[in-house]
Structure 1
Amino acid sequence: MNIGSQGEKKARTYLEQHGLIFKASNVRYRFGELDLIMRDDQYWVFVEVKFRSNARFGGAISAVSTKQMARIRLAADHYLQQQKIDAPCRFDVIAIDNDEIQWLKAAF
């Protein structure tokens, strides 16, 4: 299992422990990818997972670019349309630096 997969597994477990329900992972489109898709009550939650083994370059939290946020929004919109889902959604970030997990709800 590669580092990215390990990070996503940790993030999924963490979110499930906090009451979210897993729906899908690694949903890919030519214009973007969705790491995790979860449900939190009525919200569909699109989770970007960032993992860093050290914080030399600002750590995991600083690794989400504006361009990447736009691609995630586009992919989420496409997913909702494709699945015929009409519900509120939000975009969260799980940042994992070594074993420390930060959960940013409604990050963008």
Structure 2
Amino acid sequence: MPTWQLRKIRRDGAKAEKLALCYLKQQGLRLVAHNFACRQGEVDLVMLDYEVLVFIEVRFRASQAFGGALSSITPAKQQKVRKAAAQFIQRHKVHALRHCRFDTITITPNDDSRQNRLEWIKGAF
């Protein structure tokens, strides 16, 4: 893949994460960490929904071809997020006793308007 395409994908991903973060803050969630990465994987957003620690995978897809944003969160990706979440909790002991949840935010262009369609799925995996 050419370098310029990789840059565009990263730029689109960063914009999607920012959009998701703004939306979730409006819903009352509080940011704990952004782009937590470790050897086991990465978590896009870690937030608190009251006292529940929420690990959020954000996916943007420009089209519904190949199944769209939600289908891109494969079982292998889910496993990486779970492992990264375990590593996050191990490094941040203050959250060790919290209940946890794994959510997804999918963002796709809305054909009827210039706005993107955002879907928040609580307890997605």
TM interval, short-chain normalised? over 0.9
Structure ranking higher in helix proportion: 2
Unaligned ranges ≥5, structure 2: 1-9, 110-115
TM-score (norm 1): 0.96
**Within the alignment, does 1:104 sit opposite 2:113 as a pair?**
no
User: Percent of aligned positions with the same letter in both sequences?
Assistant: 41
1:23-50 residue CA offsets vs partner (Å, 9 max, x unmatched)? 1111111110010001001100000000
What is the match of residue 94 of structure 1? 105
Aligned length: 108
What is the match of residue 60 of structure 2? 51
Unaligned ranges ≥5, structure 1: none
1:75-94 residue CA offsets vs partner (Å, 9 max, x unmatched)? 10110111002210100000
Structure ranking higher in strand proportion: 1
Once residues 100 and 7 of structure 1 are traced to their aligned partners in structure 2, the CA distance between those partners, rounded to angstroms, is 11
Segments of 4+ in structure 1 off by > 2 A? none
AA in 2 matched with 1:97: T
* Counterparts of residues 1-108 of structure 1 (less than 5 Å): 2-84=11-93, 85=95, 86-98=97-109, 99-108=116-125
Q: Compute the RMSD of aligned alpha carbons.
A: 1.0
TM-score (norm 2): 0.83
Query: Larger Rg: 1 or 2?
Result: 2
Higher relative contact order (CA 8 A, sep 6+): 1
Once residues 16 and 54 of structure 2 are traced to their aligned partners in structure 1, the CA distance between those partners, rounded to angstroms, is 17
AA in 2 matched with 1:41: Y
